[in-house]
């Protein structure tokens, strides 16, 4: 499993109550709407309780200290609805809060606005997309009367001083939420530096990947929601946790090093348990996690198929040319070798693919045949690639077929304003039943493609994964 999953063991309840409090009573008080209460999955109810208890227990901290949580559920488990209902409760039910600032990738602004208006219609929602005078007046009115402000990471960096002042005085938001918070994993970036400089009553970091590469990223996120007394400075954390845990996970580690690494992983999990909640789909679907009256999340079983495709003669020549020029395998040579496994002319082709010959790529020929079969059966298919140029090649190949020239749509980050329109069109199940995406676009949550049936992952490796969902 990923490193962040190694840090979290079996699914656990994160309840922190007094003896007089009953979790169900607390939850019903949080969610007065009985119909809404009944529609939530058990893990989503637990998530709302987790947020509330973290807020409640954080109130005892010294005034001015950072307080918050990391909601790290795996993608698709409904992190946004848990946060939205928690905000609704805090603003509309308890009146402890008046406002909240939500920061996210620009492509998610309209999706968040739609969900907030659907689930919390009584709360004013404003998207801050520019610095026009009229928008500034609306921002000041929201700061005065209350509401939720949505802003992209870029606008947040450029205008954070505007967002955090009111009538010349510092303005402290009641809640500061970062969606796709792994964008804050690097302490050297502007994103992290600005986020660290903003004070708020409560912080929520939302990410499905709290650790992507190393434990320093984990410390980086925790530092935004908790003072250094939790994990110490990075130097302390590196010596006490990162180095021995990483060493214990190495292939050449000894028994004592592995044992120490496991022990420290458990210790780190225990320390961060009050501020980190992560659930995976396989945990949520496990019937042992719920009583018979609490039906868990029911998803179709996922099947993964790995198909090994032989390189075409053209691909073999291109592959060997790169290897011959690099007697020692380097990251740069690997960077050139990987896309050749998808198309032999990837490294020499212009950004806009003109002539695409299927016979030149064993994988592309197989994938086109697979797509033809799937679409003929009425299936809806997602095709992911790491590179925009690969999407260009796939798109060109589709346009050269009578069945595929009008059967696809595409999202690659170059058309952010059209993203929602394209997704909505795909969901309406018209003639376009293939959606081409880059992996970076797909990794940003809220591409709510609830209608698709199959997903093809066109990795730039000599294999293709077909995944019915």
In 184-291, which ranges are continuous DSSP H helix? 190-197, 215-225, 234-237, 243-249, 255-272, 281-284
* Residue among 235, 217, 230, 211 nearest 275 (CA): 230
* Residue among 459, 437, 457 nearest 339 (CA): 459
Give a yes or no: residue 187 inside a domain. Answer: yes
pLDDT of residue 467: 29
Are residue 281 and residue 363 in the same domain, yes or no? no
Q: What are phi and psi of 343, to 5 degrees?
A: -150, 135
- CATH for 368: 3.40.50.300
Are residue 181 and residue 284 in the same domain, yes or no? yes
Give a yes or no: residue 376 inside a domain. Answer: yes
Verdict on whether the full-model pTM lies above 0.85: no
pLDDT of residue 86: 93
CB atoms within 10 A of CB 236: 12
Are residue 273 and residue 369 in the same domain, yes or no? no
Give a yes or no: residue 116 inside a domain. Answer: yes
Q: What is the pLDDT along the chain (469 residues), one digit of tens a residue?
A: 445 555 554 444 444 444 445 666 666 666 666 667 777 888 888 899 999 989 988 765 656 678 899 999 988 888 999 999 999 989 988 888 999 999 999 888 888 999 999 888 889 999 988 767 788 899 999 999 999 999 999 999 999 999 999 988 999 999 999 999 999 999 999 999 999 999 899 999 999 888 878 899 999 999 999 876 688 889 999 999 999 999 988 888 889 999 999 999 999 999 989 899 999 887 776 444 443 334 556 666 677 788 888 888 988 998 888 888 877 777 778 888 888 888 888 777 655 556 667 778 888 889 899 999 988 888 888 888 888 888 888 888 898 888 988 888 888 777 666 777 787 788 777 778 888 888 776 555 545 544 444 444 443 333 323 322 2
* Residue among 465, 467, 463 nearest 454 (CA): 467
Are residue 357 and residue 232 in the same domain, yes or no? no
Give a yes or no: residue 161 inside a domain. Answer: yes
Give a yes or no: residue 334 inside a domain. Answer: no
* Angle (CA) 281 33 273, round 5°: 40
| Residue span of the structural domain in which 185 resides | 3-289
Give a yes or no: residue 44 inside a domain. Answer: yes
pLDDT of residue 107: 81
- CATH for 100: 3.40.50.10810
Q: How many structural domains is the chain composed of?
A: 2
């Amino acid at each position: 499993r990923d490193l962040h999953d190694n840090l979290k063991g079996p699914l656990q309840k994160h309840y922190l109550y007094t003896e007089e409090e009953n979790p169900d009573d607390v939850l019903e008080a949080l969610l007065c709407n009985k119909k809404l209460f009944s529609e939530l999955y058990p893990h989503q109810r637990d998530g709302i309780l987790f947020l509330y208890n973290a807020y409640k227990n954080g109130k005892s901290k010294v005034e001015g200290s950072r307080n918050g949580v990391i909601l790290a559920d795996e993608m698709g488990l409904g992190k946004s609805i848990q946060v939205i209902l928690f905000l609704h409760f805090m603003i509309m039910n308890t009146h402890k809060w008046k406002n909240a600032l939500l920061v996210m990738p620009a492509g998610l602004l309209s999706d968040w606005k739609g969900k907030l208006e659907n689930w919390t219609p009584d709360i004013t929602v404003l998207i801050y997309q520019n610095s026009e005078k009229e928008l500034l007046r609306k921002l000041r009115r929201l700061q005065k009367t209350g509401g939720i402000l949505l802003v992209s990471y870029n606008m947040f960096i450029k205008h954070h001083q505007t967002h955090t002042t009111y009538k010349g005085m510092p303005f402290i938001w009641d809640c500061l939420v970062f969606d796709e918070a792994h964008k804050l994993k690097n302490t050297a970036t502007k994103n992290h530096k600005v986020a660290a400089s903003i004070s708020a009553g409560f912080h929520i970091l939302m990410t499905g990947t709290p650790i992507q590469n190393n434990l320093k990223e984990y410390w980086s996120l925790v530092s935004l929601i908790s003072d250094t007394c939790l994990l110490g400075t990075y130097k302390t954390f590196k010596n006490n946790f990162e180095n021995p845990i990483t060493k214990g996970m190495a292939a050449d580690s000894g028994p004592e090093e592995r044992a120490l690494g496991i022990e420290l992983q458990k210790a780190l999990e225990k320390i961060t348990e009050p501020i980190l909640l992560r659930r995976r789909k396989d945990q949520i679907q496990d019937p042992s996690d719920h009583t018979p009256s609490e039906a868990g999340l029911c998803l179709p079983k996922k099947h993964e198929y790995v198909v090994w495709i032989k390189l075409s003669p053209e691909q073999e020549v291109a592959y060997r040319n790169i290897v011959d020029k690099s007697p020692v395998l380097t990251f740069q040579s690997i960077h050139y070798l990987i896309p050749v496994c998808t198309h032999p002319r990837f490294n020499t082709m212009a950004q806009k693919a003109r002539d695409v010959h299927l016979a030149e790529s064993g994988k592309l020929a197989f994938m086109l045949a697979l797509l033809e079969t799937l679409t003929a059966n009425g299936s809806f298919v997602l095709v992911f690639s790491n590179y925009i140029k690969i999407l260009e090649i796939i798109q060109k190949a589709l346009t050269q077929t009578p069945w595929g020239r009008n059967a696809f749509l595409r999202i690659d980050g170059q058309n952010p304003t059209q993203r929602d329109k394209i997704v909505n069109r795909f969901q309406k199940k018209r003639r376009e039943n293939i959606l081409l995406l880059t992996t970076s676009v797909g990794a940003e949550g809220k591409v709510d493609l609830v209608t698709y049936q199959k997903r093809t992952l066109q990795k730039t490796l000599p294999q293709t994964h077909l995944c019915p969902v």
